[in-house]
Amino acid sequence: MIKTDILIIGAGPTGLFTVFEAGLLKLKCHLIDALPQPGGQCSEIYPKKPIYDIPGFPEILAGDLTKNLLEQGKQFEPGFTLGERAETIEKLEDGTFIVTTNKGTKHHAPVVAIAGGLGSFEPRKPLIDNVAYYEDKGVEYFIKDPEVYRDKKVVISGGGDSALDWSIFLADVASEVTLIHRRNEFRGALDSVEKVSELKDSGKINLITPAEVTALHGNTKLEGVTINKGDEKILLGVDHFIPLFGLSPKLGPIGDWGLEIEKNAIKVDNTLNYQTNIPGIFAIGDVNTYPEKLKLILCGFHEATLMCQAAYRIINPGKKYVLKYTTVSGIDGFDGTRKEAPKAVIQSI
């Protein structure tokens, strides 16, 4: 039985930042994630993709953000159960919880924080008969390492931000990039659409619209695709086909825990620091929903911070917490050491 103060389900950015905020309150965290490594989508789906809206970082790769969050929380010695999915939850008479994974690992905590992002997710696949045969043989639904596509011929399908962003990025990596969308209009950011148009005009991207890939060809691996553009059929030799049609999110077993669900997300009360309809269980980050909810990493950080304050009151009933600023008090680690903040200097005028 693994015991902790806050059991965090999901080791994505929001879950990892919770470790730090809880650590400032002297609360211990343990994280469960079905993926084999921390970082959630940032590690599993787009580790090399730049993120632009993290405060203090004009640009940071998703994988580097994960590394920084792990380093930030390391001093508070979090525990991890990785490669296992949170399967069942039991509330005991004393109000604490036991969460058991699909492999039978049991965790005991007075507070559970669900930070599962989109939950368990699967890529939306194109309706092509033999697409499964070519998976990992030239068909990929996620780009983990752009260097895989160095000097290769790549076809990307999709009309959203991911399709646009990766087409732009791979234009300087692949020998040939072809972007295909079934409409002339794209759903992505305007500046990305304009950038793709510029790259098309300069010959760095082939843009085929309105069109779609209808067949895949090759013996032991992908060697070509058939593209339907109106009545015209185009046979194109390729090394990789990357359909980026988004993800189909599912809450998985968490959806059977008696939590109030709204539009495949966990409904929370943002006036109660993102508590669910079950006292002691919170949901933070993309997995939750409430009025005016924004699914942004930085919003998840904010929610994690307030949730930890509520967790402190549950774990330490009747004990008042006095907010301290790390710039003044420093950071107290679990190992008894103390990182002192620099002394403030008051200059008289």
> Residue 91: how many CB atoms within 10 A of its CB?
16
| Shared-domain flag, residues 70 and 108 | yes
What is the pLDDT at residue 328?
61
What is the pLDDT at residue 346?
36
| Shared-domain flag, residues 117 and 259 | yes
The two beta strands, 79-82 and 261-262, are unpaired
What is the pLDDT at residue 64?
92
What is the pLDDT at residue 160?
87
What is the pLDDT at residue 49?
79
Domain presence at residue 329: yes
Q: Minimal CA–CA distance to 183: which of 203, 163, 153, 204? A: 163
Task: For 222-260, list the strands marked E by DSSP.
Answer: 224-229, 232-237, 240-243, 247-250
Is the pTM here over 0.85, yes or no? no
Domains contained in the chain, number:
2
What whole-number distance in Å separates Cα of residue 195 and Cα of residue 76? 43
User: The tokens 């998840």 sit on which residue?
Assistant: 300
What whole-number distance in Å separates Cα of residue 301 and Cα of residue 13? 8
Boundary residue ending a domain (190, 222, 243): 243
Q: Which residues of 264-303 are buried (b: 16+ CB within 10 A; e: fewer)?
A: ebbbbeeeebbbbeeebbbbbbbbbbbeeeeeebebbbeb
For residue 228, give the amino acid letter.
N
The tally of CA atoms less than 13 A away on the side-chain side of residue 229 is: 14
| Shared-domain flag, residues 229 and 130 | yes
Domain presence at residue 346: no
169: which DSSP letter?
A: H
| Shared-domain flag, residues 68 and 130 | no
| Shared-domain flag, residues 29 and 163 | no
- 22 in Cβ contact with 6 (< 8 Å): yes
Per residue in 46-102, pLDDT (tens digit) is 677 788 889 999 999 888 999 999 999 999 999 999 888 899 999 999 999 999 998
Burial of 245 (0-12, 13-18, 19+ CB in 10 A): middle
Q: Which residues of 187-223 are buried (b: 16+ CB within 10 A; e: fewer)?
A: ebeeebbebbeebeeeebbbbbeebbbeebebeeebb
- 167 in Cβ contact with 196 (< 8 Å): yes
| Shared-domain flag, residues 264 and 278 | yes
What is the pLDDT at residue 211?
96
Domain presence at residue 349: no
Q: What is the pLDDT along the chain (349 residues), one digit of tens a residue?
A: 999 999 999 999 999 999 999 999 999 999 999 877 888 877 766 677 788 889 999 999 888 999 999 999 999 999 999 888 899 999 999 999 999 998 999 999 999 999 987 655 667 899 999 999 999 899 998 887 899 999 999 999 999 888 998 999 999 999 999 999 999 999 877 888 999 999 999 999 999 999 999 999 999 999 999 999 999 999 999 999 999 987 766 677 888 899 999 988 999 999 999 999 999 999 999 999 999 999 999 999 999 999 999 999 999 998 877 777 776 666 654 444 445 544 443 333 2
Domain presence at residue 57: yes
For residue 111, give the amino acid letter.
V
Domain presence at residue 85: yes
What is the pLDDT at residue 47?
74
Boundary residue ending a domain (176, 211, 243): 243
| Shared-domain flag, residues 171 and 252 | no
What is the pLDDT at residue 332?
59
Boundary residue ending a domain (180, 209, 243): 243
| Shared-domain flag, residues 157 and 233 | yes
Distances in whole angstroms, Cα of residue 170 to Cα of each of 141, 146, 151: 15, 7, 10
What whole-number distance in Å separates Cα of residue 347 and Cα of residue 121? 55
Which residues 6+ apart lie within 8 Å of 173 measured at CB?
146, 147, 149, 150
DSSP string computed for 52-100:
--BTTBSSEEHHHHHHHHHHHHHTT--EEEES--EEEEEE-TTS-EEEE
| Shared-domain flag, residues 112 and 189 | no
Which region holds residue 184: left if phi is over 0, alpha if psi is between -120 and 50, else beta? alpha
Residue 206 sits in a domain of what CATH number? 3.50.50.60
What is the pLDDT at residue 347?
36
- 245 in Cβ contact with 217 (< 8 Å): no
Domain that residue 99 falls in: 2-121+247-339
What is the pLDDT at residue 333?
47
Domain presence at residue 92: yes
SS3 114: strand
Which region holds residue 274: left if phi is over 0, alpha if psi is between -120 and 50, else beta? left
Domain presence at residue 257: yes
What whole-number distance in Å separates Cα of residue 83 and Cα of residue 63? 18
| Shared-domain flag, residues 251 and 117 | yes
| Shared-domain flag, residues 236 and 300 | no
| Shared-domain flag, residues 231 and 252 | no
Domain presence at residue 298: yes
